[in-house]
Structure 1
Amino acid sequence: MTLDDGHLTEYDAGMESVDPLNFPGYAGKLEQQKSKTNLRDGVITGEGMIGGFPVVICVMSFDFFTGSMGSVVGEKITRAIEAAHAKQLPLLIFSTSSGARMQESILSLMQMAKTSAALSRFQGAGGLYISIFTDPTMGGVSASFASLGDYILAEPGARVGFAGRVVIEQTIRQKLPDNFQTAEFNLQHGQLDKVVHRKDMKATLTKLLDMHCVREGASHGG
C-alpha cells in the first residue's frame, strides 16, 4: 500500500535472534514465533520508492513476539538508519510494539540508546526521519526511536504511550480519560503532527517527501 509497486529491497533478511541469557523457554518460543509468522524477528527493513522518492523504510510487526524490541530489532533498525545516513536518503519507521523484550534483559534495553544515538548522528547531518505510530506502540520503542521523528504521524486510534493504562491508573489511583493514549489524544496534547488513515498514508508521505527531497531521475538544474 505504501511503497511504489509494493517493491522492497530488504536489508539483513537473514538476521535472527539467539538466546544470549539462556532464558528459560525463550529458544523454543522464538522457533514458535518464526513458524507462526513466517518472520525471523519483529522488524523488516530495506529500501524502496514512495511517490518516486527513494527511501529507507523499517516496518515492525506486532505478530512477532508482540513487536517487542530485542537485539535483532535494535540492530536492524540501527543498520537501516546508518544506511539512510550513508546514502543520504529519507528514513521512515512504522512502529508497533509492546516494549522491550524481557527475555533479553539489558541487551534489549540498550537498543533504546543505540537506535537513538544513530538517529542523532543521522539527523545532525541533515537526514529526514518520518516516524509513524501504528496500534499499539508502547514501552521502550515509544520512549526511543519512535518519538524522535522530524515528523511524527499516527494511524487513527493507535495507542501510544510508555506504561499501559491499567498500570498508570493503579499507580496514580485516578481514572484516566476514555481516549487516553490514543493517537487523537496525543495529537490534542502536542505529541503528534498528524493523524493519518492508512489509505491516505502514501499520499501524505509523498507530500512530505516532496517538500524535502528530489525525485529519482529529476533534474537538479536551477
Structure 2
Amino acid sequence: MLRRIITKKIFRLTGKNFNFPREIRLTSIVPNEIEITLGRLETKFVKVQIQKKGTPAPGYEINSEFFFPREVLVTGPVNIFKEADTISTNVVNIDSITSEQNRTFPWVVDIENAITIKKNDKYISVPVKCEEKINVWFHVNEQKGTKTFDNVKVNIFHPVNYHFKVTLKEEFISLSLKGSKLSLDKLNAKDIMAYIDVSSLSPPGPYNQPVICNIPKGLELEGNPPESHVDIVETIVKKK
C-alpha cells in the first residue's frame, strides 16, 4: 500500500484568473486568496464488482460468471477507501446472448475511473485512477422448466392378427415434462406419441399397464410414469 500526502496550497487571485469582456473592468476581488487542501492519496487493492445490463435471449439464463483479477490496484483519496471497498467495471452488455457465448473469448472490460459512495442519502462519485483491465466469462445455459400437457391420446399397439378386443378406461392422459424451456414451449399434446403395447396380453383382463411415451430428446417425464387400465376380451365370432 502506497500513501502520498499533498499539503495545503494558497492561490492568490488576480485579474489574470478571470476572462471578462473588454467593456467590463475588474475593480476588486474579495477575498483575493483561496486555500485548497488536497487530501492524502492512497494506493491499495480493491475488490472488483461486475456491472451488467440487459437480459439473455429468451429461453437462456446466466448460470455462472467468472472474472479475473478479483482485485485491482486503485489510487484515490484515502477517505474514499474508508467508506467503499469495491470498484465497478464499465457496464457489460449481456442483452440477447445465448450459449454460443460459452465458446468465445472473454470480454475484456475497463475499470471505472470513479468510486461511488452514498453520503447523506446522496450518491457521490469520487475520481480514482486504475489502469487494470478485467477478463469476464459468462456461462450461459438454456432455461429449465416444467410443463403439463393435457389430453394426450393413448394409442393401442398390437399385431395385425391379434384377435382380442381391447378397451381403454383412460383414452386420454395428462403428462408433466421437464427440460429445456425452449423445447417445452415448442411442444404440444399432439406431438407426443403415447401408447400401450398389448401384444403379450390375453384374456381375461383387466390389466393396469404403463403408458409408453415417445418424447423429444432432452426432455423427461416429471413424476411417476402414467398408467392406463386395459380390458381385453375374446372376440365373439357369429356363426353363419
Higher strand share: 2
Q: In which range does the TM-score fall when normalised by the shorter chain?
A: under 0.3
Q: Which has the higher contact order (CA 8 A, sep 6+)?
A: 1
Q: TM-score, normalised by structure 1?
A: 0.19
Higher helix share: 1
